[in-house]
Amino acid sequence: MDLTHVEDDLELDQTLFTEEQIVSRLKEMAADIERDYEGKDILLVGVLKGAVMVMADLARSLDRHVEMDWMAVSSYGSGTKSSGVVRILKDLDTDLQGRHVLIVEDIIDTGLTLSWLITNLRSRGPASVEIATLLRKPEAQQMEVEVKYVGFDIPNAFVVGYGLDYNEQYRNLRCIGTLSPHVYS
């Protein structure tokens, strides 16, 4: 689905990222990752469901073998506010002992989910754990964990598309944009 199908639902402002912009930024991030992980095996850990599109395009931009695994955690309810509660809905299939883990995220908002996830994954004995996220909101910068790869820093707005949802909708939108308040108010 492209912008023409949901134009009235989105704010056409600076948070609008086209599919081309997203994919080209992910290619740059992939080049950084290849350089940093030379000679090391990478396990990409995607956080469901939002990171599906980021994982698909980032993984395919890497010109080398990688393994992929998935975790599902709940951090948001059906609205636009963080619940602050994180629960594992689906755990990894892979043993992390000695592995170089790169968490692939769609967006970091409060950073609550990631802080929790990192502590959880680090307790499983990996060689390293780093984070790659397509989007990052301002609050996340107060997080104690360093986010190694960031696609775009965006203002504090609720965005949808390219895997990101509002009430399970808009995930299949090719671009990313801020949801107009009239959609949820």
Subset of residues 129 to 158 that bind ligand IMP, contact rule: CB under 6 A = 158
Report d(CA 50, CA 28) in Å as an integer: 21
In terms of CB distance, is 21 or 82 closer to ligand IMP?
A: 82
173 binds ligand IMP (CB under 6 A): no
Contact partners, residue 60, CB within 8 Å, separation at least 6:
none
In terms of CB distance, is 71 or 107 closer to ligand IMP?
A: 107
Is the CB of residue 70 less than 8 Å from the CB of residue 105? Answer: no
Active-site residue flag, 109: yes
Binding mask 96-135 for ligand IMP (x = CB under 6 A): ---------xxxxxxxxx----------------------
In terms of CB distance, is 82 or 94 closer to ligand IMP?
A: 82
Angle at 16 between CA 15 and CA 17, to 5 degrees: 110
Residue that has been written with the tokens 């393994």 in this structure? 67
Please give the torsion angle defined by the CA atoms of residues 150, 29, 35 and 111, in that order, rounded to the nearest 10 degrees: 20
Catalytic residues: 109
Using CB under 6 A, list all residues that contact ligand IMP: 47, 50, 75-76, 82, 105-113, 158-160, 164
